[in-house]
Structure 1
């Protein structure tokens, strides 16, 4: 009887632990250049939860990728970009609050990384809505070694290998919070980064977005296909 009770407690405890584990969150960003599927990191819970909140609230609906720099990144999420006039300067809009920085040495600015934009505040707190997706470029050993010396940091061999193959923006590591990654749609990222822009790096042709949370059925399909 006691053995059976202990087994039952073990099973119950295991179920409780499983249930308490944060579920992976997948999102879709739809644009006129195609769709991107991204995963939000559980290692950055404040950013993950805030992004889920503003997606559900429709905050990002019809906002623009208002700042695009080829070989660097595409930035969007400015609430002022909804229905923005032609040539209107964007990038200053906010939601009246910030998200505390959540730096994680394992989450880097590789190509496809999703990171939070911010102003020059000393705490490096993130914008509540503005974000960017890294395009970056491929680096060589000499460039990475110089970057280590310039910033006074050590880049792991694992991360160097990523920056030498996939590419990214390693100089932003530890400066801006990375809170997700692109699983599908890097070609869409490249397409957006290649559009014609004005002197303020705003695309001449508006690139608006629709951001949605993937449903359980869609997530199961994605996991089955082993993205």
Structure 2
């Protein structure tokens, strides 16, 4: 099974990216909602997840799906194919495609507010769902509560956020306890207010919004200079 999954990932990477894209361009994702649009960059450090998300976007896989799980001050989750025709009160979150993506943990990619990350089940390899994702809202941490949080993280995982990451968690915000457990493969570079608007919607006890929150997802290759100029995103050197 693991060999099949790896072959699938190689196929996705090759068929989506084809010839090596120009270093001057990047794939800009737009997630449209009733509350506005989120513009998203996919990280080159997580190539399997990037290629898979581009593939699904091009196939219009996400169009009409729901943000089916929302928790204020935590995250908004979507991408369950069963949500397209789900009935009210139907439990969602188990729908998927027929493959997973191997975990791509990169220490410098962390769960700051706006981080795009892959959902997963409890598989021991921490492989990602082939389609379900979440966007972090998180919270802003003060010194005392963040210190307690990072002490717990260190005890469980033997790791600590860097000083730069700590500063982000204490200013922009995020969910540091998720680091090292779920693959972060992109970030919202425009439209963080949309995350806040979705996260605060009324939901049932299973965290499904009472009103269907549908998405459409599109993408285009764009010059990096244009992305930086238009959205203020700085590419790592």
- 1:196 corresponds in structure 2 to 202
- Secondary structure at 2:85 match in 1: coil
What is the aligned-residue RMSD (CA, Å)? 1.9
- 2:17 corresponds in structure 1 to none
Task: Give the TM-score taking structure 2 as reference length.
Answer: 0.83
- Secondary structure at 2:218 match in 1: strand
Find 1:146's aligned residue among 147, 151, 169.
151
Once the two structures are overlaid, the 10-residue window that deviates more, 143-152 or 179-188, is 143-152
How far 1:114 sits from its partner (Å)?
A: 0.1
1:52 aligns with 2:54: yes
Note the residue ranges of structure 2 that are not aligned, 5 or more in a row: 1-19, 233-237
- Distance (whole Å) between structure 1 residues aligned to residue 47 and residue 221 of structure 2: 20
Equivalent pair of 1:148/1:155 in contact (CA under 8 Å): no
1:65-94 deviation digits (Å, cap 9, x = unpaired): 000000000000000000211111000001
Name which one, 1 or 2, has greater alpha-carbon Rg. Answer: 1
How far 1:153 sits from its partner (Å)?
A: 1.3
- 1:166 corresponds in structure 2 to 172
- 1:14 corresponds in structure 2 to none
Once the two structures are overlaid, the 10-residue window that deviates more, 207-216 or 70-79, is 207-216
Note the residue ranges of structure 1 that are not aligned, 5 or more in a row: 1-17
- Secondary structure at 1:225 match in 2: helix
- Secondary structure at 1:25 match in 2: strand
- Equivalent positions of 1:1-227 (< 5 A) are 21=23, 23-141=25-143, 142-151=147-156, 152-216=158-222, 221-227=226-232
How far 1:33 sits from its partner (Å)?
A: 1.0
